[in-house]
Amino acid sequence: MRIDILTIFPEMFSSPFEQSILKRAITSGLVDIRIHNIRDYSHDKHRMTDDYPYGGGGGMLMKPEPIIRGVESIKRDNQAAKVVLMTPQGIRYTQQKAVNLARSDSLIFICGRYEGVDERVREFWVDEEISIGDYVLTGGELAAMVVIDAVVRLIPGALGGGETADSFYEGLLEYPQYTRPRCYRGMMVPEVLLSGNHQEIAIWRRKESLKRTTIRRPDLLKEAKISKKDEVLLAEIKIDLKQG
Ligand code: SAM
């Protein structure tokens, strides 16, 4: 997969992309991430990338020309790349969206700053607008990092064989997890996990996953993949919860 990022703060990306899973995915060639400074596409002698908004009002707006030149330059050898604008006005980012993006061969992220980007960029060059939540950040860089992190770990091989069914897989939250020691300050690991009985462990995990989702995120259950066996477990959970 190839990922291009357009930003006026390229340095912000160095640390997150030099650690752990992202670093390994980059060095092993699973993902090719290229950071582009939008200023390099400005023909202005001061390399300006922003200007005052028409109609007045506070703040500055990112000019269209440097961003569009950047997109066109990246697309020259990569025509099918999907252009993603980071904006609080976009579709809220979810695991399903990450799964969809991870199927793309090539993505271009535009990171806004100031009061955002000129509307014509959004209207004519952007394929998708993504928000990472209902709050306003100073810039699109952190938001793009969040999106890219969740996408890259979905690329087959990125987790180095440690792939598991994380939260949101099949629409549920993950079950509780434990590691050694078996007993910590009197708190025991659930017996079933020590039993070596894989079938019982799988049933316990599924039930805990359904229970956790029922308690914390009942909204997810409406969209989750629920089997006949799950329905039996959900009925048990209902009784368990009623009994406290
Ligand atoms: N005036 C804009 C608005 O009200 O929609 C907000 C601009 S914000 C201060 C500057 C930039 O940060 C945006 O252009 C966008 O790239 C990024 N940004 C801020 N919040 C975001 C969010 N929740 N998700 C994705 N990007 C965000």
123 catalytic residue (yes or no): no
Q: Does the annotation count 153 as an active-site position?
A: yes
- Integer Cα distance of 192 and 204 in angstroms: 8
At residue 4, φ and ψ (nearest 5 deg) are: -115, 140
Q: Determine which one of 4, 50, 141, 153 is catalytic.
A: 153
Mean pLDDT, to the nearest integer, of 218-244?
96
Ligand 1 atom nearest to CA at 116:
14
Residue 241 has pLDDT above 90, yes or no: yes
pLDDT at 197: 98
For residue 165, the model assigns a pLDDT of 78
Candidate from 49, 86, 108, 111 with most ligand 1 atoms within 8 A of CB, to mutate: 86
Clarify whether 166 is annotated catalytic: yes
The Å distance, Cα 89 to ligand 1 centre, comes to 8
Retrieve residue 153's tokens.
């770990």
Q: Tokens 């707006």 — which residue?
A: 61
Is residue 7 classed as helix, strand or coil in its secondary structure?
strand
Smallest CA-to-CA distance from 110 within 95, 94, 125 is with 125
Q: Per this entry, what is the length of the chain?
A: 244
* Residue 1: CA count within 13 A, CB half-sphere: 22
Catalytic residue among 88, 141, 208, 230: 88
- Domains along the sequence of the chain with CATH: 2-152 (3.40.1280.10), 168-242 (1.10.1270.20)
Mean residue pLDDT across the chain: 96
Provide mean pLDDT across the span 210-216: 98
Q: Which of 115, 128, 170, 174 is labelled catalytic?
A: 115
- Hey, which of 6, 62, 87, 145 would you mutate to test ligand 1's pocket, going by the most ligand atoms within 8 Å of its Cβ? 87
Please state the pTM of the whole predicted model: 0.95
Half-sphere exposure of 64 (CA within 13 A, CB side): 10
pLDDT above 80 for 227 = yes
What are the pLDDT digits (tens) for 154-199? 999 999 876 777 889 889 999 999 999 999 999 999 999 999 999 9
